[in-house]
Amino acid sequence: MATSQRRKSPRIAFEKGIGVSIMGIDGTWRRDCSMEDVSQTGARLRIEDSIEGLNLKEFFLLLSATGLGYRRCVLAWVNGGEIGARFVTVSPEKKKQAGRSQDNNPRFENELGVP
């Protein structure tokens, strides 16, 4: 089956690539790269430096220089200097459960101590 037939969502390709970075989940490493294409479920990245020895199982894709725009990713594939990043998504049920736990957590009280 062709790659395009296996994809779950359409991809947008960039003529020159978009400058982004990847960073380890623990923040101990960071690499500049170029995002060659992207979809709702993932992206194809061209890494500028060596990725040898890095824990790429899970990482952040930093979409801005300040790191305010990011996606959590898992490694989908490696092909030379390119990698496939699959975006990690949280199911609606898990979001709902996380919201409930914050409702009962005193850390989320406002300055007046009112939840």
pLDDT mean for each 10 residues of the chain (115 residues)? 58 93 95 96 94 92 90 95 93 62 49 44
pTM over 0.75: no
Per-residue pLDDT at 43: 97
CATH topology of domain 3-87: Thrombin, subunit H (2.40.10)
For the CA atoms of 107, 95, 42, 11, the dihedral, rounded to the nearest 10 degrees, stands at -130
- Torsion angles phi and psi, residue 59, rounded to 5: -160, 170
CB contact set of 81 (below 8 Å; sequence gap of 6+): 46, 47
Domain locations in the chain as residue ranges = 3-87
